[in-house]
Amino acid sequence: MERYMNLVPLRNEKVQLRKINGKYYLLIPMDSTLDFLARKLHGEYRRIELDEIGAYTWELCDGRKTVREIGKFLKARFGDEVEPLYQRLVTFLIELGRRYLVEFKSVEEDILGGDQNE
């Protein structure tokens, strides 16, 4: 768990957070040619519903805040409702990463101005 605390999550800029009929959704564009049939059936976006905590977490993934800092914002806003805080937060962020909705960079990359191996 500790190895994630200093990572900085950054949202996929193609994905949008929208509030529709009182619910939060991540709208993921289906822009691959392989998505042709899905677009015909479901429209231009895949949708993932988020609760208020998930939506706020998404907004905090700005490429500047570490996982530890995001956790502090969540705790300040939602209190004990987010406990066990870092276990839930890391699990959520890893799932977003698996779906290519966020990417992670290290604090060192941010300090040095990006990947030095380019």
Tens-digit pLDDT profile for residues 23-73: 999 999 988 777 777 777 778 898 999 999 999 999 999 999 999 999 999
The pLDDT, as a whole number, for residue 117 is: 45
The proportion of the chain whose per-residue pLDDT surpasses 70, expressed as a percent, equals 91
What's the confidence (pLDDT) of residue 40? 75
Q: Among residues 90, 84, 88, which one has the least CA distance to residue 67?
A: 90
DSSP symbol at 82? G
Distance CA 37, CA 35 (A): 6
Query: What CATH fold (topology level) applies to the domain 2-112?
Result: Outer Surface Protein A; domain 3 (3.90.930)
Q: Which two tokens stand for residue 75?
A: 């705790």
First to last CA, the chain: 29
Q: What is the largest CA-CA distance in the chain?
A: 46
